[in-house]
Chain A
Amino acid sequence: MSDAKLQICSVSKAFDGKVVLRDVDLDVGAHDAVCLIGSSGSGKSTLLKCVNLLVDIDAGEIHLDGEVITDRTVNPNDVRQRMGIVFQAFNLFPHMTVLENITLGPVKVHGTSRDEANETARALLDQFGLIDKTDEYPDRLSGGQQQRVAIVRSLATRPELMLFDEVTSALDPELVAEVLGVIRKLKYEGMTMVIATHEMGFARDVADQVCFLDNGVILEKGRPAEIFRNPQQPRTRQFLQRIVEAGRL
């Protein structure tokens, strides 16, 4: 038994016969940040959704703190309460203010009192420079602000683990930094994170481990310096070469 916070063991998943994940193994240590890189459709998003139990896996097991979470007898709502996930498209609730978005989970799921939830939410908003947006509706915010609110919304339930699914892919380039800044801050505070991203510079800086996914398989994983400077697999080299050519690394 390893002491990893999150353990993904031989996970496979197919949608309508098309294999999306094949025998994926991954250990994420407590306080570690693991970055998943790879082209679109390589299975990064699906892997995160499997961890959050939004997608059922076909084979394998996922453990959180050594306990199986992918068993049928486990209540997915209990598992989801312990982790946060942030999506590419923000997915804020448009009919609620920023404050209501953030307090929904704590109040309805965790049974926190309205006052306490509001207080926690305000403290988080303040911490991430969003306090003046407390009573705004999401459509009044920029993409970067919406995404930061989405991250705060996840943090408000005090997760032990955060999952980020290409959270900057839908943003204008000048808004990317403010969102990545939030994630860096979380890393500094010791949050355990799995981050699917196309931002290679960010992955190199922040990750303890980088995994290169290709066609549903983890082709290569290691410390960022190893993966980015000295990739072993031809597919990894090819992928990184294209990123360099695109001026993204």
Chain B
Amino acid sequence: MIAAASTVIVLGIILWVILTSDAWPAVQRQFFSWKHFKQSFPDVLAGFWLDIQMFIIAEILILAFSLLLAMIRSLRGPAFFPLRAMVVIYIDLIRGIPMLLLILLLGFGVPALQLQGVPSSELFWGVAALVISYSAYTAEVYRAGIESVHESQRMSARSLGLTQVQALRYVIVPQAVRNVIPALLNGFVSLQKDVALVYVLGVREGLRAANIYNHSTFNYTSYIVAAVLFLIISVPVARFTDWYTERDRRRRQAMST
């Protein structure tokens, strides 16, 4: 009750200050024009639909590929050393490179090679760059999850005669994934915005469409349209993440008492 009242008062003051300032009419014209909102909306929405498609495809690939990386990294024994080393090098390299650089490098660089049998679409390589980059981070999330499962579980599984890979597949990973779902959801929110980075390749996704509209009209409302569309997706995901994390925390507490 007090929280609601104080929120209304604070927001009211901020709005009043903004709306009565001298600059407001110009700001409204440039950023919040209803005419430009309506005019740019169809193109930006069409572009945004491509963002969503890229997001879904990339996320599925990231979840699968990074899990594979994390599993390889947690294999033990000297026989697996080369594989483990390759994964570590991959993760270190990719995490150390700006994602935008990777998108430009692959998105423009690979098609320019004009190799036989290799896709030459900027869209394909843009998404590939996102998958390559995000997988390095997500693999570390999975790895934290794998390490959070007590060693005795692995020992138990091995004592039944399961191989390392079977122990990971049936015993460790199912528990690990459950432990890192909040962190994975966090990655969802982040990727959902970062797909817009492929706009630098000229792919006509939402941000690009807003950008084109801005260039032809010198009005910035189209960016606000894009921002609203991104928020419509990312805010619910963020709220869901919080809700899920909280529920999970309560369950664990209930279990440990």
Interface of A toward B, CB cutoff 8 Å: 52, 54, 76-78, 80-81, 84-85, 87, 89, 91-95, 104-105, 108-110, 139, 153-154, 157
Please indicate the chain B residues that have their CB under 8 angstroms from the CB of A109 in the complex.
160-162, 166
* Assembly CA distance A84 to B162 (angstroms): 12
* Assembly CA distance A94 to B176 (angstroms): 12
The answer to whether A52 and B170 touch across the interface, beta carbons within 8 angstroms, is no
Please indicate the chain B residues that have their CB under 8 angstroms from the CB of A84 in the complex.
159
Interface of B toward A, CB cutoff 8 Å: 152-153, 155-163, 166, 170-171, 174-175, 178, 255
- Which interface residue of A76, A87, A89, A108 has the most chain B CB atoms within 10 A? A108
State how many angstroms separate the Cβ of B125 from the closest Cβ of chain A.
38
* Assembly CA distance A84 to B175 (angstroms): 23
- Which interface residue of B156, B159, B170 has the most chain A CB atoms within 10 A? B159
The answer to whether B153 and A89 touch across the interface, beta carbons within 8 angstroms, is no
Please indicate the chain A residues that have their CB under 8 angstroms from the CB of B159 in the complex.
52, 54, 80, 84-85, 154
Please indicate the chain A residues that have their CB under 8 angstroms from the CB of B171 in the complex.
93, 104
The answer to whether B161 and A81 touch across the interface, beta carbons within 8 angstroms, is yes
* Assembly CA distance A110 to B161 (angstroms): 9
Please indicate the chain A residues that have their CB under 8 angstroms from the CB of B156 in the complex.
87, 91-93
The answer to whether A89 and B166 touch across the interface, beta carbons within 8 angstroms, is no
Please indicate the chain B residues that have their CB under 8 angstroms from the CB of A76 in the complex.
158
Nearest chain-B residue to A102 (Cβ)? Answer: B160
State how many angstroms separate the Cβ of A223 from the closest Cβ of chain B.
30
State how many angstroms separate the Cβ of A15 from the closest Cβ of chain B.
14
Known contacts A80-B161, A95-B174; 11 further A-B pairs (Cβ under 8 A): A54-B155, A54-B158, A77-B161, A84-B159, A87-B152, A91-B153, A104-B157, A104-B160, A104-B170, A105-B160, A109-B166
Interchain Cβ contacts within 8 Å, total number: 56
Please indicate the chain A residues that have their CB under 8 angstroms from the CB of B153 in the complex.
91, 93
The answer to whether A105 and B161 touch across the interface, beta carbons within 8 angstroms, is yes
* Assembly CA distance A54 to B162 (angstroms): 12
Please indicate the chain A residues that have their CB under 8 angstroms from the CB of B163 in the complex.
77
The answer to whether B152 and A105 touch across the interface, beta carbons within 8 angstroms, is no
* Assembly CA distance A76 to B155 (angstroms): 13
The answer to whether A108 and B152 touch across the interface, beta carbons within 8 angstroms, is no
Please indicate the chain B residues that have their CB under 8 angstroms from the CB of A154 in the complex.
159-160
The answer to whether B162 and A105 touch across the interface, beta carbons within 8 angstroms, is yes
* Assembly CA distance A154 to B160 (angstroms): 7
Nearest chain-A residue to B255 (Cβ)? Answer: A139
State how many angstroms separate the Cβ of A243 from the closest Cβ of chain B.
27
* Assembly CA distance A85 to B156 (angstroms): 8
State whether A108 and B174 are in contact (beta carbons under 8 Å apart), knowing that A87-B156, A91-B156, A139-B255 are contacts in the complex.
no
Of A78, A80, A94, the residue contacting B160 (CB under 8 A) is A80
* Assembly CA distance A95 to B255 (angstroms): 13
State whether A95 and B178 are in contact (beta carbons under 8 Å apart), knowing that A54-B155, A87-B156 are contacts in the complex.
yes
The answer to whether B170 and A108 touch across the interface, beta carbons within 8 angstroms, is yes
The answer to whether B175 and A108 touch across the interface, beta carbons within 8 angstroms, is no
The answer to whether A94 and B152 touch across the interface, beta carbons within 8 angstroms, is no
Please indicate the chain A residues that have their CB under 8 angstroms from the CB of B174 in the complex.
95
Please indicate the chain B residues that have their CB under 8 angstroms from the CB of A80 in the complex.
158-161
State how many angstroms separate the Cβ of A85 from the closest Cβ of chain B.
5
State how many angstroms separate the Cβ of B252 from the closest Cβ of chain A.
11
Leading 7 A-B pairs by shortest Cβ distance: A105-B160, A91-B156, A81-B161, A109-B161, A80-B161, A85-B159, A91-B152
